[in-house]
Amino acid sequence: MLSARHSIRSVAIENGLLVLTWEDSHESRFHPIWLRHQCWCPDCGTPETGVRGIRLHHIDEGISIESAVVEGNGVQVTWPDGHRSEYAARWLRNHCYSDAERARRQVQPVLWDRTLSSDIPVGSLIEAEADPAARLKILEMVRDYGFCKIVDAPANREESQRMIRLAGAQRQTHFGTYTLKKKTTVTNVGDTTGPLDPHVDEPYRYAAIGITVFQVLRPSSNGGASTLVDGFEAARHLKEQWPEDFELLCKTPITCQRFDPGDNSHGNMRWYKSRLPVIRLDDRGKVCGVRMNERQISPLDVPADQVVPVYRALKRLFEILYSEDLRLTLNLKAGEGLLFDNQRLLHGRTGFTPETPPRAVLTSSVDLDDFHSSMRLLQRDLDPDAMHLELQQGMAG
C-alpha cells in the first residue's frame, strides 16, 4: 500500500494550475507547460534516454489543461489537442517544486572536526559485495561525511578493482592507478617520506578527482598515518571568522598547475593549469566544493589591489585547514582503506621513517557523477525516494 506521501487525495485545476492534495495534506501545484513538457509517453519520449519526440517549440507558453483525473496511482491529463499524459503519483510527489519539497530534497552534509574520531563512518567491502543495502550505506556515508573507512580492503594491487567498483567506474587520470612509494627521482611529492599538509588532489584539472579510492598495501612501522580535514567545515569557520575572506575565495580564481614530465604510468608529458575559485557555492549560495593544494598555487593573476587581500585570505584559510582542531588522523593498517570525496575533503599524511620494504599505498579515482550514478542505481531498487534527492556536485557548482 502506498504511504500517505504518495497517495493523492484529490485533484483540481485552480488558476490554470494542476493542484494535487496528498493524503499527508501537502499540496502540489504544477504549471501546464511543465506537465506538457514532461509527458514521457511513447510519442513524446523521455529525457532519460534522450530519444524524445516533443520539443519546446511544439508547446505554447500559454497551454492549458483540458481535464485531469486521478487514475490508478497517478494522474491523467488531457490536453486541448486531445493528447493524453500520465504521471505516476510518486513521481509527481518527488518532482513537486513547492518550497517545502524543494528544501526537503536537499542533501545536508554532516560537517565534522577532530571530535569525530571516536565515531567515524566505517563499512565492510565484503559485506557491500554481498549486500546492495550495505553498499548503499557506505556510499551514503561518503555522500554525507565525505568519506568512509573500509575495514577489509584488499592489501594488494591486483584486487584494487574491487575497491574501485564499490564506488563506481574508474576515472582514468594521467596517473592511472598510482602506487605511492619512495622513489629516487621525485616529481610527485607523494613519493617522499615527509609529512604532507592537507590538500586536494589534482586541483589543476578543470574537473578535479571526485572520489579517491585509497588502499594501504604496506603501512610504515613509524608514522605515515592518513589525515583528513573536512573542507566544508573549514569554509564554515572561515565564513564565521573572516566573512570577507570567505567571499574573496568564493569568487577569486586561483591558478593551480602541474607539469608532468611523463614518467607516470601513462608515459605522456602533460602541463595542466586551472584557474578556479577555492570555494564553490551552489545556486543557493551553499558551499558545495573545495579545491586547494597550497603547493600548486601559481602566480596570482588578480587586479593589483587584490593581491594582498587574496594572500591574506589564503593565509587565514590555511591556518584553519592546517589546525589540529579540524584534523582527523587515521592509522590505517594493511588491508584497510578509504573512500573520500576529493572535492570536499583535504587529505595528507604524517611523516614516516624510510624502511625496506617501503610503505606503499594505492590511490585510484572515480568521478563524482559516476559515484552518484552508482548510488542512484542502488537507491532505485532499495529506496526510490532517495534517488530524487538533490546532490551536491562538488566543484561543478
Cβ–Cβ under 8 Å, residues 278 and 316? no
Contact status, residue 292 vs residue 197, Cβ threshold 8 Å: no
Distance CA 110, CA 143 (A): 9
* Phi-psi label, residue 374: left if phi above 0, alpha if psi -120 to 50, beta otherwise: alpha
H-helix or E-strand containing 257? strand 254-260
Residue 152 or residue 385: which is nearer to a second copy going by CB? 385
The nearer residue to a second copy, 192 or 334, going by C-beta atoms, is: 192
Q: Which is nearer to a second copy, 115 or 187 (CB)?
A: 187
| CB-nearer residue toward a second copy: 21 or 38 | 38
**At closest approach, how far in Å is the CB of 271 from a second copy?**
5
Are the CB atoms for 341 and 368 separated by under 8 Å? yes
Report residue 214 CA to chain centroid gap: 17
- Residue closer to a second copy by CB (options 108, 268) is 268
Instruction: Give the shortest CB-137-to-a second copy separation in angstroms.
Output: 19
Give the whole-angstrom CA distance, residue 168 versus residue 371: 5
DSSP class of 107: -
CA distance 166 to 394: 20
Q: Tell me the closest approach of the beta carbon of residue 47 to a second copy, in angstroms.
A: 5
Whether residue 357 has a cis bond before it, omega within 30° of 0? yes
Q: CB 29 → a second copy: shortest distance, Å?
A: 6
Residue 150 near residue 144, CB atoms below 8 Å: no
CB 280 within 8 A of CB 397: yes
CB of 362 to a second copy, least distance (A): 19
Task: Work out the number of other CB atoms within 10 angstroms of the CB of residue 86.
Answer: 14
Give 228's DSSP letter. E
CB of 116 to a second copy, least distance (A): 25
- Give least dist CB 26 to a second copy, A: 14
CB of 320 to a second copy, least distance (A): 12
Q: The C-alpha cell of 221 is what?
A: 612501522
- Cα 256-257-258 angle, rounded to 5 deg: 140
Cβ proximity to a second copy, 294 vs 355, nearer residue: 294
Integer CA distances (angstroms), 210 to 272, 289, 310, 371, 390, in order:
17, 10, 26, 8, 17
State the cell numbers at 348: 595528507
Residue 361 in grid coordinates: 599505498
**How near is the Cβ of 336 to a second copy at its closest, in Å?**
26
